[in-house]
Structure 1
Amino acid sequence: MATASPGYTQTSTTDAPAATHAHKPAAAKTDISDSTLVKSLPGFRNGYATVNGVRLHYVIGGKGEPLVLLPGWPETWWTFHKIMPALAEHYTVIVVDLRGMGASSKPTDGYDKKTMAADIHELTQSLGYDKVAIAGHDIGSAVAFAYAENYPEATDKLVMMEFPHPDDSLQTFPLLPANGAYGDRLGSARPNLWWFAFNQVSGLPEQLLAGRVRLEQDWLFHYFLVNEKAVDMRDRAVYEHAYNSAAAIRAGNAWYQAFPQDISDNRNYGQLQMPVLVMGGPAYKWMKMVVGDKAVNMSAVDVENSGHFIQEEQPERVAKSMLDFLQSARE
């Protein structure tokens, strides 16, 4: 199911201009540029850094030890805007648009999670931090895991939300859902992750979706949200703009096209020794099982009454769980 796109405009430059939607009412325009969005979060500012051959956009604010937040598909740094103020009361919060995301550059390669983790490591080092706590959602969760595996000495604690690092279990997922078990809402059924396969295709998705990516995004939000109002019209306009160009679709899909390499890298990863927290809504049991095989000191939180986007549907619960974990003494 898809709803009509609201009338929002973006003032910052991107790889390609968003398509013009004839049905947008001219009187309903609102600025959704990063410079405007960050003004709604007192104490935060935009930053840019060229590291590991890419230019990364990040948003930083708060006080205390560093906490890095990494978003996932099909969103941007804005996905954490509901929890950033609470976290910033205790930590210097650094929210990064990953390689290929939002205002960060979109190179032709380097979308395996090990390389993307190197991006984040170079960024944190350039900001003067030798060690950080790191958290991620969805694709960002996989990158956070790769960061902890490849830079354990630079990782204080790890928080993973709603997606583990790709492992061999991904290759067992069925192409077709069970008979009668598939609808337009997730509910309690096992998800049919058709976009995992769709995003593997090179070239075609951007031809089909450039200028109208909102159709796909609205379907995903409808499917995965318990409360659809948790990702409101402004939020959706932000994400629509971020992924509406062919370059953005190509880059976001490249995160999925790198899964075979990620799975191969995962086979060589050892046990994580730092404290690890996994949080999940629909993916809770899967996360607990997969990450539990790699973490010797893991805690798990089942975020009830939430779909995939837990930080947007249950921000108070997510922020409290993160703070309780991050502030707990090492065992």
Structure 2
Amino acid sequence: MRILAPLLLLLAAALPAHAQVPAYPSAFKTQEIATNGTTLHVRIGGSGPAVLLLHGYGETGDMWAPLADTLMRDHTVVVPDLRGMGLSAVATGGYDKKNQAADMIALLDGLKIAKADVVAHDIGNMVAYALAEQNQARVTKLVLIDAPVPGIGPWEEVLKNPILWHFRFGGPDMERLVAGRERIYLDRFWNDFSADPKHFDEASRAHYAALYARPGNMHAGFAQFAAFDQDAIDNRALLARFGKLPMPVLALGGEKSFGDQMAAIMRTAATNVTGGVVPGSGHWIMEENPAATVKLVTDFLGAK
């Protein structure tokens, strides 16, 4: 045994370390905050002007750790898990993005935050747009990353793309099909929407699959998509009522995903749009090219 132990230690040292999902800095605190009839799991850290980070489907607020690490140097960073997702409470309803925008306003009110920059990805874009349209004086800058917004720009054409079949996939029968097979279902997203599936590593896949396998979380995910028809109706009405967004908007697309289409889409709903492309990345910008994503976002937020 005395001979075997050193050999095992040498073998362990020679093996490659398993990749880990990036952790938030220890200065970040987590809170469960009651808001708009539900409870959100929220990470809060840093000091200075506020920035709200909103995640998308297939991930949780954990995706933003590298960006939060940089922003906390001169911002108060607020990162919730969206309604019913991650470690937030599973709500029975309210998954339309107009209502989830109300979740965010109640969250900011509870934290005594009057104004904030908002950075969003995927489903988070849709919540962020509804938030910004209804609260134009409270959203100082807006970053939308690699996903269209229901009812905005060429939305009906986007819906025809066969790769987006999951927009119409949901309901109790679909939930039964996926139950116990969450990893199989989610791998499809991580593989098909990556420039290179290897960039969404095994540690990240296992981490998010375990969160989505929690009771009720796949139901909440399907509900996010099932609300798209109502979201499109709501967004067209918001645009007609409040007009184009006046705040500076950064519309980023992954080079191998939406690319510069993001800017074209958002120019139909905002007056001050800066376009940008995350090089070498598909949809999963924080896994595929976090360094470029962090620089593009922080440069925009820091610009006068």
Instruction: Please indicate the TM-score interval, normalised by the length of the shorter structure.
Output: 0.7 to 0.9
More helix by share: 2
The corresponding residue for 1:272 is 245
Q: How far, CA to CA, are the matches of 2:24 and 2:116 in structure 1?
A: 25
Give CA deviations for 1:196-219 in whole Å, capped at 9, x if unaligned: 121xx3112210112221001112
The corresponding residue for 1:226 is 195
TM-score for both structures, normalised by structure 1: 0.80
Q: How far, CA to CA, are the matches of 2:295 and 2:302 in structure 1?
A: 10
- Please give the root-mean-square deviation of Cα atoms over the aligned residues, in Å: 1.9
Give CA deviations for 1:12-34 in whole Å, capped at 9, x if unaligned: xxxxxxxxxxxxxxxxxx9x9xx
Q: How far, CA to CA, are the matches of 2:234 and 2:161 in structure 1?
A: 27
The corresponding residue for 1:321 is 296
Structure 2 SS opposite 1:48: strand
Rg larger for:
2
Structure 2 SS opposite 1:300: strand
Structure 2 SS opposite 1:82: helix
1:115 aligns with 2:115: no
TM-score for both structures, normalised by structure 2: 0.86
The corresponding residue for 1:243 is 212
Cα distance change on mapping 1:174 and 1:63 into 2, 3 Å: closer
Q: How far, CA to CA, are the matches of 1:253 and 1:237 in structure 2?
A: 20
- Assess if the C-alpha contact under 8 Å between 1:49 and 1:56 holds in 2: yes
Structure 1 gap ranges (5+): 1-29, 178-191
One of 67, 72, 75 as aligned partner of 1:91: 75
Structure 2 SS opposite 1:267: helix
Q: How far, CA to CA, are the matches of 1:238 and 1:41 in structure 2?
A: 18
After TM superposition, which residue ranges in structure 1, 4 or more long, deviate above 6 angstroms?
Answer: none
Map 1:177-216; keep pairs closer than 5 Å.
177=162, 192-198=163-169, 201-216=170-185
Percent identical among aligned pairs is 37
The corresponding residue for 1:283 is 258
Give CA deviations for 1:109-136 in whole Å, capped at 9, x if unaligned: 1111110011011101110100011111
Q: How far, CA to CA, are the matches of 1:263 and 1:119 in structure 2?
A: 19
Bigger shift: residues 137-146 or 236-245: 236-245
Q: How far, CA to CA, are the matches of 1:217 and 1:63 in structure 2?
A: 35
Structure 2 SS opposite 1:69: strand
How many pairs does the alignment contain?
Answer: 279
The corresponding residue for 1:10 is none
1:296 aligns with 2:281: no
Q: How far, CA to CA, are the matches of 2:24 and 2:111 in structure 1?
A: 24
1:75 aligns with 2:59: yes
Cα distance change on mapping 1:240 and 1:157 into 2, 3 Å: same
Cα distance change on mapping 1:155 and 1:221 into 2, 3 Å: same
Cα distance change on mapping 1:236 and 1:197 into 2, 3 Å: same
Q: How far, CA to CA, are the matches of 2:100 and 2:38 in structure 1?
A: 10
Structure 2 SS opposite 1:153: coil
Q: How far, CA to CA, are the matches of 1:158 and 1:254 in structure 2?
A: 25
The corresponding residue for 2:144 is 160
- Assess if the C-alpha contact under 8 Å between 2:263 and 2:276 holds in 1: no
Aligned-residue offset at 1:307: 0.6
- Give the counterpart letter for 1:193 in structure 2: L
Aligned-residue offset at 1:245: 4.0
- Assess if the C-alpha contact under 8 Å between 2:121 and 2:144 holds in 1: yes
